[in-house]
Amino acid sequence: MLASRKMRKSWWKILAVVCIIYAIVGGLLMPAPDDIGILAKTIRNLHFHVPMWFTMITLLVVSYIYGIKFLSSGNPMHDTMSSSFVKVAMLFGLMGLATGSFWARFTWGTWWIEDAKLNGAAIGMLIYTAYYILRNSIDDEVKRGKFSSVYNLFAFPIYIVLIIVIPRMAETSLHPASGDTVGFSTLDLDNNLRKVFYLATVGWILLGVWIATLKYRLTEIKRIDEEI
């Protein structure tokens, strides 16, 4: 069996599409706190920019788990899962950086600032780019899988520290939930935003998983074809 049954199911993919369309329509048309200082209506970007990162983290968690599984099992399917999910996670990271940068440029006047979270996110992308390069440099499949999985073993915790832990510890920050700013606790997120945000996040995460499973399935087909 090349792909697990769960990957071929449709219900969660339909849910992803529905949730995201809801995020677009509801995010733009439903009431929202459009009067918070300089943000004005751009607050609605919340439903798009932030889920990119939640999706990236989710995909990296899956990749991490399968990396560990590969180290203990040696099953190449596990390595394919691990690497496919990293690759799609990077796609979402790229979108997260691009959307964040664009949002910042037109709301606060700059493409980038020296901020703990932003720097952490950028370094995180570099770390996983190195993962890519590492994989490409090794021809032997088993070695490639083992080296990548061990790299992942270090890379993922460091990534979490870079984008979540250190920003929270920073003294000041311009980014929500870092340094001295407030974040997504119950007191801070407006109820109107919540109505869209939670479903938007679910939708984007499911979409990310869908794309990652497609990458996995295609890679597995190619791998097995080459074996034959």
Partner 1 sequence: MRKYSALLMLVAFSAMAQTPVDDFFYQSGKIYVVVAIMVIIFSILAVYLVRLDKKITKLEKERNEA
**Which residues, 38 to 57, sit near partner 1 by CB under 8 A?**
38, 40-42
Told to check if 198 binds partner 1 by CB under 8 A, we report no
Torsion, Cα of 41, 44, 50, 51 (10° steps): -160
Told to check if 221 binds partner 1 by CB under 8 A, we report yes
Q: Which is nearer to partner 1, 3 or 189 (CB)?
A: 3
CB of 212 to partner 1, least distance (A): 12
Stretch (H or E) spanning 208: helix 191-227
Told to check if 9 binds partner 1 by CB under 8 A, we report no
DSSP 178-202: STTS--SSTTTS-HHHHHHHHHHHH
DSSP 134-171: HHHH--SHHHHHHHHHHHHHHHHHHHHIIIIIHHHHSS
Residue 13 tokens read as 């993919």
Q: Which is nearer to partner 1, 155 or 200 (CB)?
A: 200
Angstrom distance (rounded) from CA 191 to CA 13: 27
CB of 16 to partner 1, least distance (A): 8
Told to check if 112 binds partner 1 by CB under 8 A, we report no
**Degrees to nearest 5, angle at CA 57 with 86 and 27:** 120
- Identified binder of partner 1 from the candidate list 12, 15, 24, 190, rule CB under 8 A: 24
Q: Which residues would be at the binding site for partner 1 (CB under 8 A)?
A: 1-3, 8, 13, 17, 20-21, 24-25, 28-29, 34-35, 37-38, 40-42, 106-107, 109, 210-211, 214, 217-218, 221, 224-225
